Amino acid sequence: MQFSDRTAAGKLLAEKLADFRGTETLVLALPRGGVVVGFEIARKLNTPLEVLVARKLGAPGNPEFGFGAIARENTVFLDEQTVKLLGLAKEQIDEIIARENLELKRREKLYCGERKFPALAGKTVILVDDGIATGVTVKVALKFIRKQNPARIILAVPVLAAESIEIFEPEVDGIIYLQAPTHLGAVGAWYDSFPQNTDTEIIELLTKSRLLAQSQ
């Protein structure tokens, strides 16, 4: 199955999440692409949509190669095997974390303004992204969510590698997906249209989702 775009993938994924409709459900989306998918899920389930900013920690000289990730409340995930492979010293890691944390804070301020992050305790949290490749940002997001004591965590993505299911199953209460190929390649290859979403687009979707929730 090839998805026409993130909106279409979100609508298809929402159909498989219908059983999670309820007042104690919250959709958390990873920006930027995950917010587009998450918007359709939140609209279908009549649940709130919130953004959870996570930043990949990229290797020196090769920032696309992630050795870990960070999220809010100083949550850090490090892939120790990759760190060892790269031969990274603690000082190097700390410097990269500090730099990415500045960008994380900037985006949180941009997307959320002065709104407080929602309480997750006792709720069903659906974590959404547009696909999982390396999985480091999803790993750190799950680490943060677990600290908030939710009732259950559901991971929802249109596409992920088959081997990722085994990796993430022990960390969540359920994984909902549309495609799980043996050879994933780039996530964008599974979409006919896979543009880089702008901050303006994300803010508009978050605002629209809040307005829809208030009108229910």
Residues 127-141 have pLDDT tens digits of 999 999 889 999 999
What mean pLDDT is predicted for residues 84-104? 96
Residues 17, 44: contact at Cβ < 8 Å?
Answer: yes
Tokens read off for 46: 């009549």
pLDDT of residue 9: 98
pLDDT of residue 64: 84
In degrees and rounded to multiples of 5, residue 199 shows phi and psi of -60, -40
Percent of the chain with pLDDT strictly greater than 90:
89
What mean pLDDT is predicted for residues 157-186? 96
What mean pLDDT is predicted for residues 50-72? 94
Sheet with 124-128, side-by-side order of all strands: 49-51, 25-29, 124-128, 152-159, 174-179
pLDDT of residue 52: 98
Say which residues have a Cβ less than 8 Å from residue 89's Cβ, sequence separation at least 6: none
Helical spans, DSSP H, in the chain: 6-15, 33-45, 80-86, 90-112, 136-147, 162-168, 199-215
Class (C level, CATH) for 55-111: alpha beta
Q: Partners of 184 in the beta sheet?
A: none
Output the average pLDDT for the chain: 95
**Domain ranges in the chain with CATH number 3.30.1310:** 55-111
**Domain ranges in the chain with CATH number 3.40.50.2020:** 6-53+116-215
Class (C level, CATH) for 6-53+116-215: alpha beta
Given a cut of 80, whether residue 214 has pLDDT beyond it is no
Given a cut of 90, whether residue 49 has pLDDT beyond it is yes
